[in-house]
């Protein structure tokens, strides 16, 4: 049952990815402006242009170009970046860890903040505390990450300058890292001086990304907690003499968390999508920042590569969440 | 929920409506209400602070930017672009998304399968990157920005309206209409559509807030309309650069954007509650 569900999901995932590849390819080929003309110095001859067009495969029909490109992609060959003159896949893999670290730190913050306020709100239901949490989460949800980023820059970059507002790490530092996962590697190497520097750069973009998601988690989890708290087994736990916090944490949370989990998956993809502009805002050297440069420079192979990697990430997250839901939900597990 | 907010008459809604009306009127009558020419540069007047600080000049209420342009006038003129994009992009996204959602939800079968697959593909794109890519491809300009937002955000309408239309088409009244001899398209338009209109209206208001943000993001990365006309995003981009010299260039457009987005979302929420037959 589970395997069948997994295979069906895997198939739809591949169809989605193929669709994404088609859309990206079509959108980019519609683009006016000749990327070849931009690469060459002003004095280039028609011969030079033709040679370069052939080199990048631009002299073939659009359908041919698509399948040549797609067969390369399947083999891991995403082509060469026109503006940076480097292999697209290695450029992407160089930047992806920075974005993933940012997204994961933001996700952890969102779950922690959303979870805490949900438990607090459910415990204090009907009081001013719950009303306060509702107002705060309403505001956190309505204001998008781009604006939160700007608010944070003003508050903690200018008014009380305690965090860095640009870059990923202080440029003068000597980095001993072998991977691009600077933050996680600094933790493993116990280089907490570097961890602190990385965190000072990462904290504000991560909070900007985390706030809207924290609000959604808080609202939904609080709602499910309040529903579960009236059920018999929870009432029984209360009669047994557990405190309200214990009742929530030990009994209610387990069952209330499932609907939230599905939602967190979809929302996590939105959070990753948000890294594009938030990285730009904080000059954070991740994939999103590179993507905007690629678009501005009309670097077609690089744009294609980055969009595909984002799409792959999104469908993988959805697949993982779907499988976790199936594993955790007793009705689906035995069904 | 108390009576007032159920009827959509809460103070919050009045504030939201008041702000939107004020901003909209200022944008429409921009040449009349703006105290200065939004494009006039004067290096003698660069980085003037807002009116309550020392060194402020009368007539430059919110101060000036690094080229000596009046911030308030630029915000008022920037509102024109913001509202045009908000209305045009949201309505375009709504027309496409609601039509496809209605067809997918009501007819089901192959139509639903194809439309849902396209929605899945669209959901696999990071929306901001998609918007930037589309504007880069379509060329900068007002119509490109509107088109790009519509192309990306129709799925928001499609997903919700599909689910609602699916629910409605299982109701007894649809079956009755069929027995009474109405055609399928007739039932969809005359019976199902009116029942999903409340959701469409609520989504429309939310989408306007989103469109304002997307336009600001696009002009922040310098990909929206021509660089001459002031937009809220381009003012923010300037403010981000001169943040240590002139904080007001970032603060005032930011407040403007936050108030506008909050107002649109308050409206959307209130409309949703007001039309929802269960909550009513």
At residue B74, does pLDDT exceed 60?
A: yes
- With CA atoms as reference, the chain A residue closest to B121 would be A16
Q: How far is B174 from chain A (nearest CA, A)?
A: 31
The CATH number linked to B150 is: 1.10.3720.10
Residue B159 belongs to a domain: yes
Q: In terms of Cα–Cα distance, which of B261, B214, B280, B269 is closest to B20?
A: B261
At residue B129, does pLDDT exceed 60?
A: yes
Please count the other Cβ atoms lying within 10 Å of the Cβ belonging to residue B130: 23
Are A22 and A67 a contacting pair, CB within 8 Å? no
Enumerate the residues of chain B whose CB falls inside 8 A of the CB of residue A310: 124-126, 129
Asked if the Cβ–Cβ distance from A32 to B139 is below 8 Å, we say yes
- Structure token digits, residue A289: 């920042």
pLDDT score at B227 = 64
At residue B88, does pLDDT exceed 70?
A: yes
Asked if the Cβ–Cβ distance from A277 to B220 is below 8 Å, we say yes
pTM for this entry: 0.89
Enumerate the residues of chain A whose CB falls inside 8 A of the CB of residue B262: 139, 142-143
Selected residue of A136, A268, A277, A289 to mutate for chain B interface (largest B Cβ count, 10 A): A277
B134 inside 8 A of chain A by CB: yes
Selected residue of B137, B249, B265 to mutate for chain A interface (largest A Cβ count, 10 A): B137
Residue B33 belongs to a domain: no
d(CA A116, CA A121): 8
Helix residue spans in chain A (DSSP H): 2-30, 35-39, 46-55, 62-74, 88-123, 128-142, 145-152, 182-188, 192-228, 232-239, 244-246, 253-281, 287-296, 300-328, 330-334
Q: How far is A335 from chain B (nearest CA, A)?
A: 25
Tell me which residue in A139, A144, A154 faces B251 most closely, judged by beta carbons: A154
pLDDT score at B277 = 56
Q: What percentage of chain B reaches a pLDDT higher than 70? A: 94
Tell me which residue in B221, B223, B236 faces A150 most closely, judged by beta carbons: B236
At residue B156, does pLDDT exceed 70?
A: yes
Are A198 and A169 a contacting pair, CB within 8 Å? yes
What rounded mean pLDDT belongs to chain B? 87
Enumerate the residues of chain A whose CB falls inside 8 A of the CB of residue B257: 147
Asked if the Cβ–Cβ distance from A154 to B262 is below 8 Å, we say no
Q: In terms of Cα–Cα distance, which of B38, B28, B115, B33 is closest to B71?
A: B38
> B54 versus A212: which is more confidently predicted?
A212
SS3 content of chain B, % helix, strand, coil (to 5): 75, 0, 25
Asked if the Cβ–Cβ distance from A16 to B117 is below 8 Å, we say yes
ipTM of the complex: 0.89
B242 inside 8 A of chain A by CB: no
pLDDT score at B1 = 41
Q: How many Cβ pairs within 8 Å bridge chains A and B?
A: 123
At residue B122, does pLDDT exceed 90?
A: yes
Beta-carbon contacts of residue A221 (< 8 Å; ≥ 6 apart): A114, A115, A118, A119, A256, A257, A260
d(CA A228, CA A252): 6
Asked if the Cβ–Cβ distance from B117 to A19 is below 8 Å, we say yes
- Structure token digits, residue A271: 């959070």
> A106 versus B276: which is more confidently predicted?
A106
Q: Which domain holds residue B96?
A: 16-26+62-275
Selected residue of B114, B128, B139, B255 to mutate for chain A interface (largest A Cβ count, 10 A): B128
Residue B43 belongs to a domain: no
Tell me which residue in B121, B136, B213 faces A20 most closely, judged by beta carbons: B121
At residue B78, does pLDDT exceed 70?
A: yes
Residue B11 belongs to a domain: no
Q: How far is A73 from chain B (nearest CA, A)?
A: 17
Residue B127 belongs to a domain: yes
Residue B47 belongs to a domain: no
At residue B19, does pLDDT exceed 90?
A: yes
Are B224 and B145 a contacting pair, CB within 8 Å? yes
- Structure token digits, residue A92: 């992407």
d(CA B202, CA B272): 5
Residue B90 belongs to a domain: yes
Q: In terms of Cα–Cα distance, which of A169, A166, A170, A172 is closest to A204?
A: A166
Selected residue of A12, A17, A27 to mutate for chain B interface (largest B Cβ count, 10 A): A27
d(CA B226, CA B228): 6
Look at the block and give the residue holding tokens 């805490």: A116
- Which tens digits make up the pLDDT trace of B232-256? 999 998 888 888 888 899 999 999 9
Are A128 and A206 a contacting pair, CB within 8 Å? no
Count: domains in chain B: 1
Per-residue pLDDT of chain A in tens (335 residues, 90 and over written 9): 778 888 988 998 899 999 999 998 888 777 665 666 666 666 777 787 777 777 767 777 778 888 888 888 888 888 888 888 889 999 999 999 999 999 999 999 999 999 999 999 988 888 999 999 999 998 899 999 999 999 999 999 888 888 888 888 888 888 888 888 988 898 888 888 899 999 889 999 999 999 999 999 999 999 988 888 878 777 788 788 788 888 788 778 877 888 888 888 888 999 999 999 999 999 999 999 999 999 888 888 898 889 999 999 999 998 888 888 888 776 665 54
Q: In terms of Cα–Cα distance, which of A225, A214, A224 is closest to A247?
A: A225
- Structure token digits, residue A324: 């976790």
Q: How far is B39 from chain A (nearest CA, A)?
A: 25
Q: How far is B136 from chain A (nearest CA, A)?
A: 7
Contacts for B137-140 with beta carbons within 8 Å, 24 or more apart? B137/A27, B137/A28, B137/A30, B137/A31, B137/A32, B139/A32, B140/B223, B140/B224, B140/B225, B140/B226
Torsion-angle region of A167 (φ positive above 0: left; ψ -120 to 50: alpha; else: beta) = left
């Amino acid at each position: 049952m589970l395997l069948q569900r997994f295979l069906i999901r895997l198939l739809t995932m591949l169809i989605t990815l193929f669709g994404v590849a088609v859309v990206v390819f079509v959108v980019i080929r519609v683009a006016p402006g000749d990327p070849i003309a931009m690469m060459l110095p002003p004095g280039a001859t028609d011969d030079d242009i033709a040679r370069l067009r052939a080199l990048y495969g631009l002299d073939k029909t659009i359908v041919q170009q698509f399948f040549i490109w797609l067969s390369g992609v399947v083999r891991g060959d995403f082509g060469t970046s026109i503006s940076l003159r480097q292999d697209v896949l290695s450029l992407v893999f160089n930047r992806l860890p920075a974005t993933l670290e940012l997204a994961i730190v933001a996700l952890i913050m969102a779950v922690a903040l959303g979870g805490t306020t949900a438990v607090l709100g459910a415990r204090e239901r009907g009081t001013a505390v719950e009303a306060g949490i509702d107002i705060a989460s309403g505001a956190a949800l309505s204001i998008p990450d781009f604006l939160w980023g700007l608010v944070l820059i003003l508050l903690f970059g200018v008014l009380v300058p305690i965090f860095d507002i640009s870059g990923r790490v202080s440029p003068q530092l000597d980095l001993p890292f072998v991977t691009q996962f600077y933050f996680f590697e600094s933790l493993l190497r116990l280089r907490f001086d570097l961890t602190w520097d990385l965190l000072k750069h990462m904290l504000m973009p991560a909070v900007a990304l985390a706030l809207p998601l924290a609000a959604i988690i808080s609202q939904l989890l609080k709602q499910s907690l309040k529903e579960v708290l009236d059920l018999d087994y929870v009432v029984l736990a209360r009669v047994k003499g557990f405190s309200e916090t214990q009742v929530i944490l030990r009994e209610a949370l387990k069952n209330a968390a499932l609907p939230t989990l599905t939602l967190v998956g979809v929302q996590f993809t939105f959070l990753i999508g948000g890294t594009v502009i938030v990285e730009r805002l904080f000059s954070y050297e991740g994939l999103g920042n590179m993507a905007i440069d690629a678009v501005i420079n009309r670097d077609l192979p690089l744009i294609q590569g980055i969009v595909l990697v984002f799409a792959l990430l999104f469908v993988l997250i959805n697949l993982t969440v779907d499988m976790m839901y199936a594993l955790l939900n007793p009705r689906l597990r035995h069904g | 929920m108390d009576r007032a907010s159920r009827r959509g008459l809460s103070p919050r809604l009045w504030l939201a409506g008041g702000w939107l009306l004020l901003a909209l009127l200022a944008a429409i009558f921009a040449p009349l209400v703006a105290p200065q020419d939004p494009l006039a540069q004067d290096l003698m007047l660069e980085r003037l602070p807002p009116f309550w600080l020392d060194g402020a000049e009368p007539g430059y209420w919110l101060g000036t930017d690094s080229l000596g342009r009046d911030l308030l006038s630029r915000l008022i003129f920037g509102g024109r672009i913001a509202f045009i994009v908000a209305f045009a992009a949201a309505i375009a996204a709504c027309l496409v998304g609601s039509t496809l959602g209605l067809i997918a939800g009501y007819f089901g079968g192959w139509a639903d399968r194809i439309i849902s697959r396209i929605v899945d593909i669209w959901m696999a794109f990071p929306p901001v990157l998609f918007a930037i890519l589309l504007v880069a491809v379509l060329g900068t300009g007002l119509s490109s920005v509107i088109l790009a937002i519509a192309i990306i955000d129709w799925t928001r309408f499609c997903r919700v309206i599909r689910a609602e239309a699916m629910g409605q088409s299982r109701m007894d009244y649809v079956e009755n209409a069929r027995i009474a001899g109405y055609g399928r398209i007739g039932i969809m338009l005359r019976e199902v559509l009116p029942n999903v209109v409340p959701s469409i209206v609520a989504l429309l208001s939310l989408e306007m807030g989103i469109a304002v943000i997307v336009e600001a993001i696009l002009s922040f990365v310098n990909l929206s309309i021509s660089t001459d006309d002031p937009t809220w995003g381009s003012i923010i981009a300037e403010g981000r650069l001169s943040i240590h010299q002139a904080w007001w260039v970032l603060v005032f457009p930011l407040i403007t954007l936050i108030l506008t987005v909050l107002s649109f979302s308050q409206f959307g929420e209130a409309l949703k509650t007001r039309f929802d037959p269960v909550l009513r």
